[in-house]
């Protein structure tokens, strides 16, 4: 997004001593996160973190609206974990309901 590939960012951060690397926000939610984490893992193995946002923001009057529902965020959890995320949270637009829905998916996987 800012001209540095996920692989290059991961390499540079690991070389600088980072204990974990990952991604947040992005271009609209959890859908691109697995590809980003996979590229990071291939370039610089180690712990990975992901904080996707709850969709692409839009402005309505003085409010910023994120359209991705908690269920939509939860649908992205399994692929993110499969890509190697060790820590998962939510960024812009995420609410406690989004985090709960994501946590429910993780809890079900642990049974």
- What are the φ/ψ torsions at residue 107 (nearest 5 degrees)? -60, -40
33: left (phi over 0), alpha (psi -120 to 50) or beta: alpha
Residue whose pair of structure tokens reads 């406690």 in the numeric block: 96
Tokens 């269920």: give the residue. Answer: 71
CA distances in angstroms from 78 to 8, 13, 62, listed in the order given = 25, 26, 34
Averaged pLDDT for residues 85-107 = 96
The pLDDT tens digits for 13-23 are: 999 999 999 99
For residues 21-39, average pLDDT: 89
The pLDDT tens digits for 45-68 are: 899 999 999 999 999 999 999 999
Which of the four pLDDT bands, split at 50, 70 and 90, describes residue 26?
confident
pLDDT number for residue 1: 61
Q: Give strand pairing partners of 65.
A: 58
Predicted structure pTM score: 0.89
Phi, psi (deg, nearest 5) at residue 30: -80, -10
């Amino acid at each position: 997004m800012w001209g540095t590939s996920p692989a290059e960012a991961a390499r540079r951060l690991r070389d600088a001593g980072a204990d974990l690397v990952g991604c947040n926000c992005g271009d609209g939610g959890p859908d691109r996160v697995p590809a980003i984490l996979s590229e990071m893992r291939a370039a610089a193995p180690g712990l990975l973190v992901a904080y996707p946002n709850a969709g692409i923001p839009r402005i309505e009057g003085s409010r910023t609206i994120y359209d991705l529902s908690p269920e939509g965020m939860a649908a992205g959890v399994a692929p993110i974990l499969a890509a190697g995320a060790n820590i998962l949270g939510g960024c812009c637009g995420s609410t406690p309901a989004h985090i709960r829905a994501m946590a429910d998916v993780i809890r079900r996987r642990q049974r």
